[in-house]
Structure formats: structure tokens, C-alpha cells
């Protein structure tokens, strides 16, 4: 990032629309129109993966797959991948907030209809396009594992994969082969959903870039335990022989929490990742930088050291700091991918070692206006922001600017 520019953080699910949840359809183009007219050059989004429990994009069931809830039925109808009649009797859904259970059920019904329509009526050229997508090298690392994982999730009513029959949980070759045969149709359906997502996302990004608007993505440091990533690559995570976590992630006690935060994400086996030349991380970054023009790395400090807690602990109090991969990982990434347009999320309690790594890598950090008025000498105050910074009025963790100002106390207002 070498030029001064401005933009908006808005996840696509927050766009208005008649589907009960924002998606990659017409309203996304309206938002691009607005960004262009307002002279904005960046659209920042949250992680794009399929959401798990709690509907949080930071708890995705895959770091590679796209979220089917972002697929636009309107675009499917425009592309003759959904009969227009399917959109004629949509249920009335709230316009001011997302009712996730209803919106998800409604969208899933439409996607199933699209799949049936595709199988019966799609022209050969579109079916060839699906086959080309599935066979592409970019999908080789993850698509088949994801499609099987999603099919098994449906078969077992959404249960975490550690609760599946043991032979499937530990990925017995015979059990996986049997599942692929039994669930062949469902697996094909989930391949199709990924084809739709990446097709629509690619079209949206192309439209944004044509207007000189860059897409700014977001990559969590950890992946969810109940994810295709951990299920398909158990050797890269701190798991026991029964695929249960040995250590999990969190942060230690601080001013805000006497017991810290116990996140529950499995810890990486950095020793094994290093043995492979950090190949999984390299492919993860390569994948996300195909989807975006800039990429924020959440919890950047964990590359230096991270808080590790035994999986049987009830709080994060009894954890310990463990050294992260630091320069070794980024040296491997740069050798494979070159210089990358990354932004380091360096909020919270940050050590000198974390700052030194960020500066050595030449990555911008973050500051937040709403944090600037808590003390008179805050580094988040506008006049203290340095050029190597992405400056936010607030992030997805903050109140809106209007809500923040309305709730501000007299001391903060005076500052």
C-alpha cells in the first residue's frame, strides 16, 4: 500500500435485499455504484467462508470454500440456472436484520432448486464450465475434501466431525471410499455450490476492479476445530489419536477479562508445517489473494507468539506463551508468492517483537478512531496515526460511529 485511499467495511450479508440476507446480487452492484460515485477505492469484507455455529465468518467450516449463503438467486435466474418461477413466491423476511434460520432455509431451498434445474436443463457449455472448475489446480487442494465433508455434515445432521463414526473421523481409506459412493449425489451438489460462489464472486471482483475499486479481504489466523481443514489435515494440528484437540487457542487474562478468552481453535503443529515448507499456509494465502486485492491477517501477533491452553481447561488462565514461526514462515511465503499486499491486525496488547516483525515485513498496521479518546495520549488519536496504517472509525467489533458518539461520556466528548 503506497498511496492514500479510503473505503468502506461492509460484509455482503449486510447488504439490503429480498432474500433476508445480503448476497452477491444486484444490491452488491448498487453498492459498487455508490462507492464509485463517492470516490471510494476500497471495499473491505469479512471472511468469505461457509459459516458454522453462531453464523460468525470467523468460525468458518472451511478456510478455502465460499459461503453458499452469499450466492445470489437473482444472478442464478439471470444466468438461466434457476427457473424464474422460483423467485415469484418468496417468503416475507425482515428487512432490518437477518433471521439466520429462516434466511438459511429459504436460500437452501433455492439452491437445491437451482441444482435440480442445472442437472435437468443446463446447456453443455455450462456443465463443461463446472467440470473445468472442479478439475482446476486451484481447487485440487481442498474441493473434494470440502464436498465430502459437507455431504457428511448433512448426513449426520450437522454434528461436529469428531462425533461421526470413528472410521470417518480418523479418515479411514475404506470408510471414505464407501462414503464417496453412498453420497455421490450430495458431493456433486456441494461442488456445484462452490462453482456458483466462485463464479459470482469472480464477476463481482472484476466489476469492482473495472471501477478502480479494490477488494480488501480478511483472513483469520486460526481455523475452526469443526472444519474441513482440520478434518482433512489432522497432522497439521495439535490433535490426539482420536482426533480430539490437545491444545487450543485463546488469550490470557487482562483488564477486560479476569479469566482470559478461551477460543477453542486447535493449535497449529508448526514443527510439521515447517517440515513441509509451510505449504498449507502458502496455498491458503495464494487462494485468498486470488479472491481479493488486499488481505488483512487477523491476530497477527500469533506469528510471534501465541497463547496455548490445554484442551481440558475451562478458562484461559492456565495457558502459556509459545513461540510462533515468525520470519521463517514469511520467508517461505515470499519465496513462493513474492511480496504480498497484506495488512497486519495489530490491535490489543502488542509487544515490541510483534511491532518489529510487522515493520521488517513492511506491512501496514491498524488503528481505530473509537479507541483514540480513551486516554489523552492514545496512539489511536488522528494526529498520531503514521503513514503505514489502515485507520478505521470502527471495525466489525465496534459500535457504529453514530452509536459510539451517542453513547460517549462527557469526558470523551471533551477530548
Which residues are marked as active site?
A: 298, 345, 397
Query: What does the block give as the cell for 273?
Result: 508445517
Q: How many CB atoms lie within 10 A of CB 166?
A: 12
Query: Cα 282 to chain center, whole Å?
Result: 16
- Based on C-alpha coordinates, what's the Rg of the chain? 22
Q: What are phi and psi of 390, to 5 degrees?
A: -100, 120
Q: How many residues does the chain have?
A: 415
Task: Catalogue the E-assigned strands of 73-196.
Answer: none
Strand partners, 250: 262, 307
> Is residue 190 packed enough to be buried (19+ CB in 10 Å), middle (13-18) or exposed (0-12)?
buried
> Which is it for strands 294-297 and 342-344: parallel, antiparallel or unpaired?
parallel
Residue 366 has a CB neighbour count (10 Å cut-off) of 17
Alpha-carbon span 161 to 152, nearest angstrom: 8
Amino acid at each position: 500500500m503506497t498511496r492514500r485511499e479510503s473505503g468502506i467495511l461492509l460484509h455482503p450479508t449486510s447488504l439490503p435485499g429480498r432474500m433476508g440476507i445480503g448476497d452477491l446480487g444486484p444490491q452488491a452492484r448498487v453498492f459498487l455504484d455508490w462507492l464509485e460515485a463517492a470516490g471510494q477505492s476500497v471495499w473491505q469484507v469479512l471472511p468469505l467462508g461457509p459459516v458454522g455455529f453462531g453464523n460468525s465468518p470467523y468460525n468458518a467450516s472451511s478456510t478455502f470454500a465460499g459461503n453458499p449463503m452469499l450466492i445470489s438467486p437473482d444472478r442464478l435466474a439471470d444466468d438461466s440456472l434457476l427457473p424464474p418461477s422460483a423467485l415469484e413466491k418468496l417468503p416475507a423476511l425482515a428487512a432490518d436484520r437477518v433471521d439466520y434460520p429462516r434466511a438459511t432455509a429459504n436460500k437452501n431451498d433455492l439452491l437445491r432448486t437451482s441444482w435440480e434445474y442445472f442437472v435437468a436443463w443446463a446447456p453443455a457449455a455450462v456443465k463443461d464450465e463446472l467440470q473445468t472448475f472442479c478439475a482446476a489446480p486451484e481447487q485440487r487442494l481442498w474441493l473434494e475434501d470440502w464436498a465430502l465433508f459437507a455431504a457428511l455434515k448433512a448426513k449426520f445432521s450437522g454434528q461436529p466431525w469428531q462425533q461421526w463414526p470413528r472410521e470417518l473421523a480418523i479418515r479411514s481409506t475404506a470408510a471414505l471410499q464407501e462414503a464417496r459412493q453412498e453420497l455421490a449425489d450430495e458431493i456433486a451438489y456441494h461442488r456445484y455450490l462452490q462453482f456458483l460462489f466462485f463464479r459470482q464472486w469472480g464477476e463481482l471482483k472484476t466489476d469492482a476492479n473495472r471501477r478502480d475499486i479494490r477488494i480488501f479481504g480478511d483472513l483469520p489466523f486460526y481455523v475452526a476445530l469443526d472444519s474441513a481443514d482440520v478434518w482433512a489435515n489432522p497432522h497439521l494440528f495439535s490433535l490426539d489419536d482420536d482426533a480430539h484437540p490437545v491444545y487450543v487457542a485463546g488469550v490470557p487474562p487482562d483488564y477486560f477479562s479476569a479469566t482470559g478468552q478461551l477460543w477453542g481453535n486447535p493449535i497449529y503443529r508448526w514443527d510439521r508445517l515447517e517440515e513441509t515448507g509451510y505449504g498449507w499456509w502458502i496455498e491458503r494465502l495464494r487462494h485468498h489473494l486470488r479472491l481479493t486485492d488486499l488481505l488483512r491477517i487477523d491476530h497477527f501477533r500469533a506469528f510471534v507468539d501465541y497463547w496455548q491452553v490445554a484442551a481440558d481447561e475451562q478458562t484461559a488462565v492456565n495457558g502459556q506463551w509459545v513461540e510462533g514461526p515468525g520470519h521463517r514462515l514469511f520467508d517461505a511465503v515470499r519465496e513462493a508468492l513474492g511480496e504480498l499486499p497484506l495488512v497486519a491486525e495489530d490491535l490489543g496488547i502488542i509487544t515490541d517483537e510483534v511491532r518489529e516483525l510487522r515493520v521488517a515485513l513492511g506491512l501496514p498496521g491498524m488503528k481505530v478512531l473509537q479507541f483514540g479518546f480513551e486516554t489523552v495520549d492514545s496512539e489511536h488519536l488522528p494526529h498520531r496515526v503514521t503513514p503505514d496504517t489502515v485507520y478505521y472509525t470502527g471495525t466489525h467489533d465496534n459500535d457504529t460511529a453514530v452509536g459510539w458518539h451517542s453513547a460517549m461520556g462527557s469526558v470523551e466528548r471533551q477530548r
